[in-house]
Structures are given as C-alpha cells and as structure tokens.
A and B are shown apart, each in its own frame.
Chain A
Amino acid sequence: MAEPSPRRPEPLRSLSLAWTFLRIGAMTELQYRVNFFIQIFQTIIMVGTALAVLALVFSHTEELDGWSSPELLAVVGIHVLMGGIIRTLIQPNMIRLIEEVREGKLDYALTKPEDAQLLVSVRDIRIWQFVDVPVGATILGIALTQLDRQIGAGSAIAFGVALLLGATMIYCFWMILTIGAFWIVRMEFIVELFEGVYQAGRWPVTIYPGWLRASLTFLVPIGFAITVPAEAVTARLNEVTLLGAAIFAVLLFGFTRVLWRVGLKRYSGASA
C-alpha cells in the first residue's frame, strides 16, 4: 500500500473496483485453459438439448401458445445468453458468499473500507462461462433472421434495457436466496434450486397457468429477465411492461439492500 489515493466519486469508484476484480479473476482463470474446451463442450450439449426439445415440440404442433418456432428459438437464445451472464458474474459470487458465511470468513470482506454488498458481489468471475453469451447471441441472431423481421432502433434499445433490468433482478433474487445463509446452515441445494427454476425461462412465461406465471414474474424474476427481452424482439412488448419492469427492479434492489443489512446483523463471524 503506497499513498492513499484521493477518493473518487462513489459510482466511479464502484466501477473501477469491479473492473479490478474482473481483471484479477480473468488472470486467475486464464491459467486453466482446458476449462475453456470443457465449457465449449458443455455449451454444445446444453444448446443441443434445447434445440432437440424445441424440434420435438414443433414436431407435434405448429405453434405454442401463439409463439412460432423461430420466436421460441429467440427465447432459447436469450435464455442461454442470460444464463451465461448469471454463471459468469452472479453465481460464483453468491456461492462464495454462502461458504464464507458458514465458515466465518466473511470477516475479511466486512473489514475492508468498501461497501460490503458491492464487494461480495464483484469478487469472483468465471470467464469461460462467458462463452454462453456469444453463443446465446448467435442463436438469437439466427432466430431473428428466420423471423425475417426488421428490428428498429426502438426495439433494439428496449431489448437492451430489458436485458439489463432482467440481469439486475436476477442478481437481486440470487442475493436474496444467498442472504438466507445467515439463517440456514446447509445451503448446497440452493444452486440446484436456482438452476431448476431457471429452466422454466426457456419457455415464455405466458404459457404457465396464472399463479405460476405470477410467481415466475415477481417471486423469481425470470419472466422479466427472459420473456420481456424476447417480447421486445418479437414485437410483443408495450411501454407499460417495460416501465413496470423498471419500477420493479428498483423496488427489488431496495428490498435486497435492506435484507442484506438485516442478515448482516445475524452474522457473528468465526471467532466471536
């Protein structure tokens, strides 16, 4: 530690902190290059299965609840893309946080002179999982070509905003689950719980019965994270939905923040 650097304005500091961790994480992971090929293989299997299921469904029907085959392909693309973001940036941090709460190692993060929630959310990264982002984007691109529909600038912006809001909400949801570690000791099941529920997003949430659709929108924000961006590129989205997503994202973020503070009070550390 040399001279303490002059404090930069808050949002910039957060970003540069996240960037630093990103670089460290990338350098660590770059040492394990075989993992890249394993990841490619896993992505191929995942995408292959998704396409096989889609082909199977459309061998029995022309359309699913008003969605055509290329439209559902677009949903698959967004599902893969968002899954890549989750597994690259969100999930590794959450798994580490759960472990540290259980083992009492969270002390190290709490004693640092930074916002603890920010710190625990940006420390870890799995760069190879990022493969799913371009792969998902490619599937989405192919789907849009098949749809043969011009995507205007408005739709493209709406898509980007919806995706960003969706990722934020998924982060909040994961964080809320993770905060459960302050109360419950055995949390290994949480990853499977999340991945099980995340699979629901491979289909537009509108196909689910009302109570389930509501849960998949507000309880587990998969509807916002995947269906809404898909609606943006298939000319289904209206401004009200997008505005609703924005308001809900802000509320959820605030709630997560409060819950994190409450959870921290339960934490007693390893030596206490």
Chain B
Amino acid sequence: MNAVARSTRLPAIVDFYITVMRVAVQEQFQYRAANYAYMIGMIAEPVIYLVVWSTVANAQGGEVGGYSAAELAAYYIVWTLVRNINIVFTPNGWEWRIREGDLSGMLLRPVHPIHYDLAYFAGWKVVVVVMWLPLAAVLAAVFRPDLTVTGVEVMVFSVSLLGAYLIRSMFLWVLGMITFWTTRVTALYELYFTAELLLSGRLVPLNLMPPWAQTLADFLPYRWTFGFPIEALVADLPTSDLLSGLAMQAAWTVAGAALVAVVWRAGIKRYSAVGN
C-alpha cells in the first residue's frame, strides 16, 4: 500500500497524465477518418433537435421557451462541443474489460485505473476539439447562431467543461462497475441514458421541459454535464447563477469520486480474472 501512496503524490501523477494524454493524441490522430465519420454521425442528433425546435419557434411567432431560432442554433452548436467533451469510457466497455481479463493488467499498475481513463480520454479531446473547429464553422455558417458572450461566461464555460467531463466520467464509471455483480446491464444502461437524454438539456433546453421535469432535473447530476455548460455560454445567466452552477458541479464531482471509491472497493473484491 505504501507504493500506492507514494506514486499518487502530485509530480508523479502529473507525469502520468501528461504521458497518457500524449499517447492518446498520437494514437487517435492516426484514425482521423474514423474520428471524423464518428463526429459527423454525432452531429445528426443536435441538427434534428435544432430543426424541430426552430420550426416550433417560428410557428409560435419566433420564440419558444425564451429561445429564438438563432438562439436555439447557438444552443445546439455549443451542444456539439459539450457533447464531444462528454464522451468518456463507455459502461459497455466494462464487460469487455472484465471478461477479457484486461483489468488484471490495470491492477498491477501503482495508480488507480480511473486515472488512466481520465487521462486517455482527456488526451483524445485534444484531437477531437481540433477536428471540431471546422465543423462548428460550417454549422455556424449554415444555421446563423445568435451568440454574444462576456469574459466571465467564457471563463465559467471553460471550467464547466472540465466539471462536465469529470462528473460524466465518474458516474459512467460507477454504472459500468455494476458489471462486477451482473452482466445483464443493457436494460439498466438504457434507462440511465434515456433519463439523461430527457433531463440533462441534451434533447432540449431544460426551460422547455414541463416544470415537474425541471424540478426532477435539479436533483440529478445530468444537467450539470449538458445543460449548465451550454447555458453558461448561451443563456444570459446572472453571475451568481454561473458561480452557484460551478459550485454544484464541484459538489457532484466530489459525490461521483466518493461513489467511484466505494463501488470500486466493493467491486474489485468480486473480480477474478481468467486464469486465476
């Protein structure tokens, strides 16, 4: 246990992150075509929402839920960046990790495996964001968003991306670790992702949801990974809302980290790899 304690001291862990991120950049940059095709497929989703809700806004005299068509365009274009940042290790990957004994190798390393996932996907983001820029330019040229931002909004938005990334990473990790107990997880994942779709601001700005759904969303982590970062930049939130949003993200990050720690400890006891 001493080795573990020593290696998680700051400089070593920073070095670990930088190295893994660098590997991720180099690895993913080789698969430019695949990464691009994936992104284009992903962009279909917000474009559909955008067209549907713009049609509604135009039919209602130019506005729905306080959003004009041009503001909806801004919402869903920022959405594409937030969504890319939000892509983390999939819970489905855990089945493979456990079945193939891939996890055994990770256990031999002196750092908690979540650091590897956090670092690898963070590195991948560098490639993704570079590739996203031209796509965003095309979307902006086509849908003409109305976006005016202040310095504070940009700062809060940038920090909130980190928060969104951490929260979604942690919660999907916890969800994936359920595989330690049972492999019949497909249904559970679908429920989780459907709730996320409806209650995060991914489908539609939460303002457009019925009041009871908005209340429900307040008690769940989802909105801090989609709606909040987008609204931080797009909606004109007062500074107090921006700051309390960041505080909520911090709270959910801590809660996620605690859950990861607890579930990991219980789950790893149940793990036995092939050959053991």
Q: Do A and B come together as binding partners?
A: yes
A interface list, Cβ under 8 A from B? 38, 41-42, 45, 48-49, 52-53, 56-57, 59-65, 184, 186-190, 192-197, 199-200, 202-203, 207-209, 212
In the bound complex, residues from chain A placing their C-beta under 8 Å from that of B197 are 49
In the bound complex, residues from chain B placing their C-beta under 8 Å from that of A52 are 198
The reply to whether A60 and B60 contact each other, CB–CB distance below 8 Å, is: yes
Tell me the minimal C-beta distance from B33 to chain A in angstroms: 6
Give chain B interface residues in 16-43, CB to chain A under 8 Å.
31, 33-34, 37-38, 40-43
User: Known: A61-B56, A207-B55. Contact between A189 and B34, CB under 8 A?
Assistant: yes
Interface 9-residue window, one of B124-132, B183-191, B266-274: B183-191
The answer for the CA separation of A199 and B197 in the assembled complex, in Å, is 14
The reply to whether B194 and A45 contact each other, CB–CB distance below 8 Å, is: yes
User: Known: A45-B190, A53-B203, A60-B208. Contact between A193 and B40, CB under 8 A?
Assistant: yes
The answer for the CA separation of A63 and B48 in the assembled complex, in Å, is 17
Tell me the minimal C-beta distance from A47 to chain B in angstroms: 11
The reply to whether B38 and A209 contact each other, CB–CB distance below 8 Å, is: no
Question: Whose C-beta in chain B lies nearest to the C-beta of A186?
Answer: B34
The answer for the CA separation of A248 and B208 in the assembled complex, in Å, is 40
Extra contacts besides A57-B52, A61-B56 (6): CB < 8 Å:
A45-B191, A56-B209, A186-B31, A190-B37, A193-B38, A193-B41
User: Known: A49-B194, A60-B208, A196-B42. Contact between A38 and B56, CB under 8 A?
Assistant: no
User: Known: A42-B186, A189-B37. Contact between A197 and B51, CB under 8 A?
Assistant: no
In the bound complex, residues from chain A placing their C-beta under 8 Å from that of B48 are 199-200, 202-203
The reply to whether B55 and A65 contact each other, CB–CB distance below 8 Å, is: yes
The answer for the CA separation of A197 and B47 in the assembled complex, in Å, is 10
The answer for the CA separation of A184 and B38 in the assembled complex, in Å, is 14
The answer for the CA separation of A185 and B48 in the assembled complex, in Å, is 29
Q: Interface residues of A: mostly helix, strand, loop or mixed?
A: helix
Is the C-beta of B45 less than 8 angstroms from some C-beta in chain A?
A: yes
In the bound complex, residues from chain A placing their C-beta under 8 Å from that of B210 are 56, 59
Is the C-beta of B204 less than 8 angstroms from some C-beta in chain A?
A: yes
Question: Whose C-beta in chain B lies nearest to the C-beta of A213?
Answer: B51
Is the C-beta of B275 less than 8 angstroms from some C-beta in chain A?
A: no
The reply to whether B47 and A212 contact each other, CB–CB distance below 8 Å, is: yes
25 pairs across A/B with beta carbons < 8 Å? A38-B184, A42-B186, A45-B194, A53-B203, A56-B210, A57-B52, A59-B210, A60-B64, A61-B56, A65-B55, A186-B31, A189-B34, A190-B37, A192-B41, A192-B42, A196-B42, A196-B43, A196-B45, A199-B45, A199-B48, A200-B48, A203-B52, A207-B52, A209-B142, A212-B47
Tell me the minimal C-beta distance from B63 to chain A in angstroms: 10
In the bound complex, residues from chain A placing their C-beta under 8 Å from that of B60 are 60-61
The answer for the CA separation of A60 and B204 in the assembled complex, in Å, is 12
User: Known: A38-B187, A53-B203. Contact between A61 and B59, CB under 8 A?
Assistant: yes
The reply to whether A38 and B38 contact each other, CB–CB distance below 8 Å, is: no
Contacts across chains A and B counted by CB atoms under 8 Å: 87
Is the C-beta of B44 less than 8 angstroms from some C-beta in chain A?
A: yes
Of A49, A57, A187, A197, the contact of B41 (CB 8 Å cutoff): A197
Is the C-beta of B65 less than 8 angstroms from some C-beta in chain A?
A: yes
The reply to whether A60 and B65 contact each other, CB–CB distance below 8 Å, is: yes
The reply to whether B186 and A207 contact each other, CB–CB distance below 8 Å, is: no
The reply to whether A200 and B44 contact each other, CB–CB distance below 8 Å, is: yes
The reply to whether B59 and A207 contact each other, CB–CB distance below 8 Å, is: no
The answer for the CA separation of A190 and B41 in the assembled complex, in Å, is 8
Question: Whose C-beta in chain B lies nearest to the C-beta of A200?
Answer: B48
The answer for the CA separation of A53 and B42 in the assembled complex, in Å, is 19
Q: List 8 A-B pairs, minimum CB-CB distance, nearest first.
A: A193-B41, A196-B41, A196-B44, A189-B38, A186-B34, A61-B56, A197-B44, A41-B187
Tell me the minimal C-beta distance from A232 to chain B in angstroms: 23
The reply to whether A212 and B33 contact each other, CB–CB distance below 8 Å, is: no
The answer for the CA separation of A53 and B43 in the assembled complex, in Å, is 19
The answer for the CA separation of A105 and B16 in the assembled complex, in Å, is 40
Tell me the minimal C-beta distance from B199 to chain A in angstroms: 11
Tell me the minimal C-beta distance from B229 to chain A in angstroms: 21
Question: Whose C-beta in chain A lies nearest to the C-beta of B190?
Answer: A45
Question: Whose C-beta in chain B lies nearest to the C-beta of A62?
Answer: B59
Tell me the minimal C-beta distance from A83 to chain B in angstroms: 15
The reply to whether A49 and B198 contact each other, CB–CB distance below 8 Å, is: yes
Binary contact track B54-78/A, C-beta < 8 Å → 1, others 0:
0110011000110000000000000
In the bound complex, residues from chain B placing their C-beta under 8 Å from that of A199 are 44-45, 48
The reply to whether A184 and B33 contact each other, CB–CB distance below 8 Å, is: yes
In the bound complex, residues from chain A placing their C-beta under 8 Å from that of B52 are 57, 64, 203, 207
Tell me the minimal C-beta distance from B120 to chain A in angstroms: 17
Binary contact track B196-207/A, C-beta < 8 Å → 1, others 0:
011000011000
Question: Whose C-beta in chain B lies nearest to the C-beta of A37?
Answer: B187
The reply to whether B187 and A42 contact each other, CB–CB distance below 8 Å, is: yes
In the bound complex, residues from chain B placing their C-beta under 8 Å from that of A62 are 59
